[in-house]
A and B are shown apart, each in its own frame.
Chain A
Amino acid sequence: MIASRRLTFTGLLLTFQVLSFSPWLFAEGVKDPEKAIEVPLPESVQTDVSNIEFEAIVRVDVDVLSPNYRVPWNIGSTSSGNGTGFLVGENQFLTNAHVVSNAREIYIKKNSDPNPHKARVLHIAHDCDLALLEVEDPTPFLDVKPVKIGDIPKLNTTVIAVGYPIGGERISVTRGVVSRIDFRAYSHSSVDFHLAVQVDAAINPGNSGGPVLQNGKVVGVAFQGYSGAVAQNTGYMIPVPVIERFLKDVEDGHYDYYVDLAVQHMNLLNPAQRTALSLPNDGRGVMVSIADSSGSAGGILETGDVLLSIDGYDIASDGYVTIEDEQMNLNEIVERKFVGDTVKLAVQRDGQLREMDIELKRFIPYLIQSNQYDQKPQFVLFAGLQFQPIDRNMMEAHGINDLQARYAYAFFGSDELYKERPQIVVLTAVLPDEANTHLQDYPHQVIDEVNGVKVRTLQDVYDALYGNHHEEGKEDFHVIRCVGEGRPLVLERSKAEEAHERIMDKYNVSFDHYIEEPLILKAGVVKLPPLETEPAKKEKAEGSKNESPGSSKPKADGALEASAR
């Protein structure tokens, strides 16, 4: 589901990089002895660990290659860390996506076996922080029984978390109770919200991806928590509905992501709202504020529609539905579905009740604010001018504070900027040279036009600079116009081309662009007409359209081969 702009998530993801953490020490017996509130003893459940198959719970060691969004032609920086995983099926190990994101090498280790086993990612779901791994040689695990998957645990029942967190080498077991079941932000992507279960069992760096067990069955995957400085004893696990959805989604061999209604609603708690919308005072219904036009409900739901029920579940006026005696966000109904499924809505519009079937799909524009993993940074470098498309990684790497860029980043989805510009391109840096020395005070500008071509994608920037485009009467110049900036950035063609080679050499730039078709186009959210090209150069321009020109540069791809997965 879409992250609301109004929510900020302050949770800190427990990373799996053990080395960078010093252990937190909690002395026994220092807790406040005066209990103000009588808490009933946890409901007794089987937490005996003797029947747990520890062999199925493995340590996942990972070498990571993090791409460099600041210097995008560089290979990136390497680091290593570890998390936990567990066998859920034949040669299928479940872990967190964040444990194996940007992984270069993955090794899996059994508790009883000193040998690491080389593994690879089968499926990775960054939107729900889960991944499935397989080992190259499954023989050492043939005798190991997979861990069984259970159900959503009840509040105040005991659970144990098993894994390989900091504080030692061998397997660790911690115990606690289920504290809360709620919809929460998943900080791995930073934009996705799903059901999450809060536990007070200690969950520390290295626990990530490990099972949380009750009665010998998995009731969750430990994945994130707060640092002790923010909140105490709050760890979170990914609950069974999310795990099962992921495992079911990949059964067909590929992961198709969460679907989304892409509706922002307003609760109907105010009596005036109910009167105005002709609703009885029965505590039911929420109002559609915005149905994103490119989302599942786009063109179907309208501002002012009242959603009364979803798949037969009554929607309360605070946006909750009751599923299996638990109050859950109405999106939980959509959460359990897949691409192409439908959801049935009872909608009141202009006083008339109607039923609507909505076919569900992924909502892509919101991904601009999502953390990117397993991607090569895209860029075009021309005469020292470095162009990159806006996404979260780029914004953070360059610390972009330009107002137009911030606007594009924050309102890309809600103001539907993607319809005109599926990628927002920013001049992220200028590598100083005599040819561009006066352009150095203009970084972080959003690019509007290049050589008369309105920039809709990074590919357009490439085509406009490398193709035969020019502003009328300005054949001798490359002209770059920025959004909200009257002064164009101009480079004389003769100087620019000469400078390009010189700058590549001087700044150790191994290749000058890497472009991929943006997901918004690939997924068909928006269709763009091809660039209008000069008749004489039509052939050339068409040849490069929507292809990654990087592929025609062997030097380029060779440099990044190591990170390809």
Chain B
Amino acid sequence: MMLRSLSPTARRTFLAGLLATLPTFFATPGWSAQQQDPQGDPNAEEEVVVVSNAIEKPSQTDSLVRVNATLQAYNFIRPWEKGAPTPRRGLGVLLKGDRILVTAESVVNATYLELELPESGEKAPAVIVGRDYEANLALLAPAPGNEDFLKNKKPIEIDHTALPRETVEVWQVEDNGDGVSTETEVLRVSVGNYFVEGSVFLVYQLKGSLQSRANSFTLPIVKDNKLVGMLLSYSSKEQTSYILPAPIIEHFLADLEDGDYQGFPNLGIGYSQTLDEQLRRFTGLGDREGGIFIDEVTEDSSAGKAGLKQGDVILSIEGHAIDSRGNYEHPQWGKINFSHLVRGGAKVGDTVNLTVVRDGEEMELPVELMRKEPTEFLVDPYMFDRGPKYKIVGGLIFQELTVPYLQAWGSQWASRAPFKMVYAHANQGLYEKEGRRKLVFLSQVLRAPSTLGYENLGHIIVTKVNGKKINDIRDLAVAFQNPNAQGIHVIEFDEYPKKIFVDARLSGLVNQQLIQYGINQLDRLD
């Protein structure tokens, strides 16, 4: 259990590119928010918890629907494979328009989804109508032909007014269909990690012990029969839960309404706190209070395009003063990390006004907010519902580097995964400068006549194939169509062994053998 508050010792919060990171405090053996492990068992739920003083009472189940998912993650090490299918159950809530809300994590990499009525046990297949893995939310609907399935259910409304020290209820359903409600107290409002590694949003922390029922992966939290949030994680040791709160849910739903989902914007900065008086004097802050020091600005991000620079100090966002720890004062919730002003409090396309100190001078900087898609990064920060891109050439396996690939080394991947790959992930700018869109590397070599002598190669970055520069896996696939006049492919790397040669005809034969051997697909380029 590593329940840590967002302590001021978090010297540096990194918002570069996609998301912001804060100390991981969801690495609990609780019900959910397990880090996605591409090899791992996503069905790692905890068993019964001893109840101390929880107040339980029957709840209504009119708006509750069980969501049964079968999940099957792609294998990033053997990219032609998917892992073992695993079941996951969650408790969704019915919203107006016959839509069921669950956390995205409960339906990640789903191959089959069904809805189940708690009272009768009746089932119907379901489809996903909207999802955002960063915000960890998904909206489901009965599959076509099952439109009447929810006719006896009652939609729930959403309430974003919950405040610290208020009592809210966690709703669960027994195996027999009876509803159970457990009272908990909202302790505080802060920002914290969601499901995707590094994805930081608003969270509520609840105090109160919960009992695991029917292995439900996510649960609704309500106040006066209105939805306050969805359970993200629960720690039995601390008897605290983190929930994904209504403001984020409302943002998600509003965004989905027009059929053109934009997602949550981000600034694209890395920052440091400015508690250090010497740093404050160095940056020319003078008598001004608070502010965050900008360590890094991603070039093609919202902040980068608006002209924010490394070394600037942001004093306020949209008139909200930011203190030297990076928090602003929310009228009801108290101190909240400034990231919520952008990630929850604004939409893609909005303009937020920053007050910035640069070289001692104060200036206003309007920033038009955008969002960078995960696919727009050199190294995809996450990848669900689709497999990693790869190409096999006569036993040589080439892939595009992704974070899920690195995560195959477990949660300690930063020190366990192949060093050059970890370094490339942390220094993506170096490779983007070379014109690369993706980082293509030789991931491993299957022993075959065409790869004789190359068996021990792996985790080396490809620079050229047959003289063509390789900026993504498509480039590689095209380059392999043109072996040299001798019928040989020349593959070049940025380090040892620099250059290898494979016979094009022999590779083709080996490819056929690999298919017979059971590798059903020799590439995935989309």
Contact = CB atoms under 8 A, between A and B. Distances in A.
Interface of A: 5-6, 264, 266-273, 275-277, 287, 289-290, 303-304, 401, 403, 406-407, 410, 414, 438-439, 441-442, 474, 477, 479, 484-488, 490-492, 495
A484 B427 contact: yes
A410 B488 contact: no
A269 B449 CA distance: 11
Contacts of A272: 450, 488-489, 501-503, 506
Given A266-B500, A269-B452, A410 B419 contact: yes
B455 to A, nearest CB: 10
Nearest to A441: B11
17 contacts: A5-B496, A271-B452, A273-B453, A273-B501, A275-B503, A276-B490, A276-B501, A277-B501, A407-B423, A414-B495, A486-B270, A486-B293, A487-B12, A487-B272, A487-B293, A491-B278, A492-B278
Given A289-B496, A406-B419, A6 B282 contact: no
Indicate the member of B278, B488, B489 with the most A CB atoms within 10 Å.
B278
Contacts of A271: 452, 503
A312 B272 CA distance: 63
Nearest to A410: B419
Given A438-B277, A487-B293, 14 more contacts: A6-B456, A268-B453, A272-B501, A273-B501, A275-B486, A289-B496, A290-B495, A403-B422, A406-B423, A438-B279, A441-B9, A484-B426, A487-B12, A490-B282
Contacts of B278: 438, 477, 490-492, 495
Contact of B454 (A270, A287, A403, A406): A270
Nearest to B311: A486
B307 to A, nearest CB: 16
Interface string B281-318: 11000000000011110000000000000110000000
B497 A269 contact: no
B452 to A, nearest CB: 5
B276 A438 contact: yes
A196 B281 CA distance: 61
A270 B453 contact: yes
B498 interface: yes
Contacts of B270: 486
B82 interface: no
A250 B282 CA distance: 57
A425 to B, nearest CB: 19
A405 to B, nearest CB: 11
B282 A477 contact: yes
Contact of A270 (B281, B282, B311, B501): B501
B498 A289 contact: yes
A442 B279 CA distance: 14
A486 B272 contact: yes
A267 B450 CA distance: 15
B158 interface: no
B35 interface: no
Given A272-B506, A304-B499, A401-B415, A438 B275 contact: yes
Given A401-B415, A486-B270, A488-B282, A303 B503 contact: no
B443 interface: no
Nearest to B295: A486
A406 B427 CA distance: 13
Nearest to A264: B496
B326 to A, nearest CB: 13
Contacts of B499: 266, 287, 289, 303-304
A272 B11 CA distance: 54
A272 B281 CA distance: 64
A303 B493 CA distance: 12
- A contacts with B: majority SS: mixed
Contacts of B272: 486-487
B241 to A, nearest CB: 30
Contacts of B293: 486-487
Contacts of A486: 270, 272, 293-296, 310-311
B451 interface: yes
B295 A487 contact: yes
Contacts of A479: 282
Nearest to B270: A486
Nearest to B429: A484
B423 A492 contact: no
A290 B496 contact: yes
A264 B310 CA distance: 41
List the 9 shortest-distance A-B pairs measured between CB atoms, nearest first. Answer: A486-B295, A438-B276, A269-B453, A441-B11, A272-B503, A276-B501, A487-B272, A266-B497, A272-B501
Nearest to B502: A272
A490 B501 contact: no
Contact of A403 (B426, B489, B490): B426
Nearest to A438: B276
Interface string B233-244: 000000000000
B504 to A, nearest CB: 9
Indicate the member of A273, A290, A407, A491 with the most B CB atoms within 10 Å.
A273
Interface string B406-422: 00000000110001001
A273 B282 contact: no
Contact of A276 (B279, B451, B488, B496): B488
A164 to B, nearest CB: 41
Contacts of B450: 270, 272
Nearest to A407: B423
Contacts of A287: 497, 499
A276 B453 CA distance: 15
Interface string B1-38: 00000000101100000000000000000000000000
A474 B452 contact: no
A500 B473 CA distance: 55
A406 B422 CA distance: 11
A433 B518 CA distance: 64
Contacts of A477: 278, 282
A487 B291 CA distance: 14
Contacts of A492: 278, 281
A564 B199 CA distance: 55
Contacts of A289: 496-499
B448 to A, nearest CB: 11
Interface in B464-500: 484, 486, 488-490, 495-500
Indicate the member of A287, A438, A479, A484 with the most B CB atoms within 10 Å.
A438
A512 B496 CA distance: 41
Indicate the member of B296, B427, B498 with the most A CB atoms within 10 Å.
B498
Contacts of B498: 266, 289-290, 303
Contacts of A264: 496-497
A417 B310 CA distance: 25
A277 B450 CA distance: 16
Contacts of B294: 486
Nearest to A288: B498
Contacts of A406: 419, 423
Contacts of B502: 270, 272
A1 to B, nearest CB: 15
Interface string B379-405: 000000000000000000000000000
Interface string B241-284: 00000000000000000000000000000101001111101100
A55 to B, nearest CB: 50
A414 B501 CA distance: 22
A148 B124 CA distance: 90
A487 to B, nearest CB: 4
Contacts of A442: 11
